[in-house]
Structure 1
Amino acid sequence: MSQEQDKAAPENFDQKASAAEVAANDDQGAQTGPDTLPGLEEQLRQAELLATEHHDAWLRAKAEAENVRRRAQEDIAKAAKFAIEKFASELLMVKDSLEQTLAVEAPSIESIREGADLTLKNLAKAFEKSGIEEINPVGEKFDPHKHQAISAIPSDQPANTVVQVFQKGYLLEGRVLRPALVAVAQSA
């Protein structure tokens, strides 16, 4: 190359140097390529093993979640099916009491009354153990959430006060099972 050409294209020198570096790197890559290929294969094999391991763990977790879901559904079904088991076992005593009362051969009014009284006590115990609470609101302020007014009668009590209960109401764990049927004091 002449001096004029060297002076005319100094930037070509940089391009030639870069091209030379790339070529040298390519030659070096060709030399180390076979050396690094087994390294890449090993990395790929390790990555495949790790992916297989994660896939197996995912499958196991999925199966476990399905088992938990199935067991929970079975528990819910059993709970619904046997929810009244405790109350039903308490009612057996009430039934026994009634049967004993009726089994008396020559019942007197007094023995029937005693049997009915015992039966009512057993029923009250069964209700208490099962969370059933009686609503007998005589003298209380009328509550439309717990009472159902069927009449209004003149009374000396304040207006909207329960003055008579026709049928007791019941709560189950604080929730109205049946409202009390009541008569309320009429406003003057």
Structure 2
Amino acid sequence: MDEKTRRAEELLEERLKRRGPNGHTNIEEDGAKAAAQAATDEAPTSDSVEALTNDLKRMTADFSNYRKRNEAERAEFAKFAKADLIARLLDILDGYDRALATIPEELRNSSWVEGMWLIERKLRQILEAEGLQAVDSLGKPFDPYEHEAVAHVESDEPEGTVIREHQKAYRLHDRVIRPAMVTVAKKKESN
């Protein structure tokens, strides 16, 4: 029999002995005595107080770490929340680049062409202000994290070198949001 059960039986026997002449006990008196006894039976020791204090400190530190981690995740999410929109705007920027590259020389000084140049420049400035960076690929070794090979061509360049860029790569805050589409050099076959 455990200590609490034994103590409860003792209190019950004591209550039965103290019954009044009508067979009833004084409930208020018994309740007060039982509460006082329970309080002394379960009085916290210095060890339990120390253990509870340590648990509280640990839980406080855990919660603080959780809050910091959550704030960092939110900041990271906010930093890259616009990545999808920017990636879609890159198609428009590519369209401007292609259109401006095909303008005949005799039309380059016309006002509407200058307007197109201004729009392209403004769009590029806005995207760069948001953290967008163009990645140069020509002459660099092929990197599968930054490049998408669309062709391999025999060349005098070292094998695995990017020799043509079909579409530019872009990073947003050091994360590649669009890889470059490139042609990669391979060794010439000797016959």
TM-score range (shorter-chain normalised) is 0.3 to 0.5
The structure with the largest alpha-carbon Rg is: 1
Normalized against structure 1, the TM-score is what? 0.45
Normalized against structure 2, the TM-score is what? 0.45
The structure in which a higher percent of residues are helix is 1
